[in-house]
């Protein structure tokens, strides 16, 4: 229970997620990038490194609770994200929803589920960091994170519009981007273990498309009617150099994920073998005790 509580806060899982949106709002762009790209993954690593191998029986008993909290996180935080007017808060709530897929994938205790959870952590680390960098780009120019402050940026910032589009579509889980592979594998693993969990989790994909495309449409499309935006500058060479490798990674991981999956595939197989062996040993002890 103590391990679960500590890792749940770090993920973060619902309902101990409330620190994350405020942390992102108060943090500078670099702080948000590190928080989203690295620190949130420590919770998932803890579940994989400690909970499943060291406490397999307790992990199995906690599965219904974790499934319930994860599904609530996916649906609830997606709906909350739809109501946000601050770009950073919207992306922060989307992070909670995406990490809900990670916890579901880990506790399916299936090859596809855990592979998908790890891949989702890698993908989310890149996509969320890139989205916060995109917010940082417009914030440096206008000193506002409010969605209503912008509109029609494609006319003045076509390069930014393209880069932002790639990361938004990756976050949505469009096939051909890194976001699709992780979510698809998690849902495949969830279907093997609990069809209803997979069904409710899949609604998060639809809601994710709703709030991310809402953000993109409000900021990028429409007429450039606000006078203060008519002199805004497009991406500088320094910013293009930062975004270019991230765009390549998002597309590469979506089109050819095998080089990434093969790195941890054997480790996941070994983890699952030990996990199932431990559960079988407990069952034998219980039978012998009777």
3-state secondary structure the chain: CHHHHHHHHHCCCCCCCCHHHHHHHHCCHHHHHHHHHHHCHHHHHHHHHHHHHHCHHHHHHHHHHHHHHHHHHHHHHHHHHHCCCEHHHHHHHHHHHHHHHHHHHHHCCCHHHHHHHHHHHHHHHHHHHHHHHHHHHHHHHHCCCEHHHCCCHHHCCHHHHHHHHHHHHHHHCCCCCHHHHHHHHHHHHHHHHCHHHHHHHHHHHHHHHHHHHHHHHHHHCCCCCCHHHCCCCCCCHHHHHHHHHHHHHHHHHHHCCHHHHHHHHHHHHHHHHHHHHHHHHHHHHHHHHC
> What's the rounded mean pLDDT across residues 202-223?
86
Over range 89-105, report the average pLDDT. Answer: 87
> How far apart are the C-alpha atoms of 100 and 148, rounded to whole Å?
29
Is there a domain that residue 29 lies in? Answer: yes
Query: What mean pLDDT value characterizes the chain?
Result: 83
Output 74 or 54, whichever has higher pLDDT: 74
Task: Please give the tally of structural domains in the chain.
Answer: 1
Place of tokens 């229970």: 1
Q: Bigger pLDDT: 286 or 115?
A: 115
Q: Which residues pair with 86 in a beta bridge?
A: 146
Mean pLDDT of the region 72-76: 89
Q: What value does the mean pLDDT take over residues 163-190?
A: 89
pLDDT at 251: 92
Tell me the mean pLDDT in the region 50-70. 81
Q: Which residue in the block uniquely carries the two structure tokens 């405020």?
A: 22
What pLDDT score does 248 carry? 92
Please report whether residue 290 resides in a domain: no
Is it the case that residue 279 has pLDDT exceeding 80?
A: no
Rounded CA-CA distance 168/164 in Å is 6
- Residue 69's alpha-carbon distances to 75, 103, 110, in angstroms, are 10, 9, 19
What is the percentage of the chain residues whose pLDDT exceeds 70?
95
d(CA 160, CA 136): 12
Tokens 């989310």: give the residue: 124
Q: Say what the pLDDT of residue 141 is.
A: 84
**What pLDDT is stored for residue 167 in this prediction?**
92
Beta bridge partners of 146: 86
- 211 is in which domain, residue-wise? 2-280
Could you tell me if residue 285 is inside a domain?
no
Instruction: Note the pLDDT of residue 50.
Output: 78
235-247: pLDDT as tens digits: 888 889 989 999 9
């Amino acid at each position: 229970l103590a391990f679960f509580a500590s890792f749940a806060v770090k993920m973060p899982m619902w309902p101990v997620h409330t620190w994350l949106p405020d942390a992102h709002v108060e943090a500078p762009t670099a702080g948000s990038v590190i928080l989203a790209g690295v620190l949130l993954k420590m919770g998932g690593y803890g579940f994989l490194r400690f909970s499943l191998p060291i406490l397999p029986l307790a992990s199995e008993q906690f599965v219904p609770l974790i499934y319930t909290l994860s599904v609530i996180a996916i649906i609830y935080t997606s709906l909350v994200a739809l109501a946000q007017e601050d770009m950073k808060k919207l992306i922060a709530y989307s992070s909670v929803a995406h990490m809900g897929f990670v916890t579901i994938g880990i506790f399916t205790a299936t090859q596809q589920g855990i592979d998908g959870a790890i891949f989702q952590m890698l993908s989310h680390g890149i996509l969320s960091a890139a989205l916060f960098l995109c917010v940082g780009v417009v914030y440096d120019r206008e000193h506002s994170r409010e969605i209503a402050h912008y509109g029609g940026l494609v006319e003045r910032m076509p390069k930014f519009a393209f880069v932002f589009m790639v990361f938004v579509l990756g976050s949505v889980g469009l096939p051909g981007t890194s976001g699709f592979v992780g979510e698809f594998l998690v849902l495949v693993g969830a279907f093997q273990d609990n069809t209803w969990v997979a069904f409710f989790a899949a609604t998060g994909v639809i809601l994710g498309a709703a709030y991310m495309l809402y953000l993109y449409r409000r900021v990028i499309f429409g007429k450039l009617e606000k006078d203060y935006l008519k002199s805004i500058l497009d991406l500088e060479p320094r910013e293009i150099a930062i975004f270019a490798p991230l765009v390549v990674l998002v597309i590469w991981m979506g089109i050819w994920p095998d080089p990434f999956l093969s790195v941890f595939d054997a480790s996941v197989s070994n983890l699952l073998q030990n996990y199932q062996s431990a559960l079988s040993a407990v069952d034998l002890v219980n039978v012998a005790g009777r």
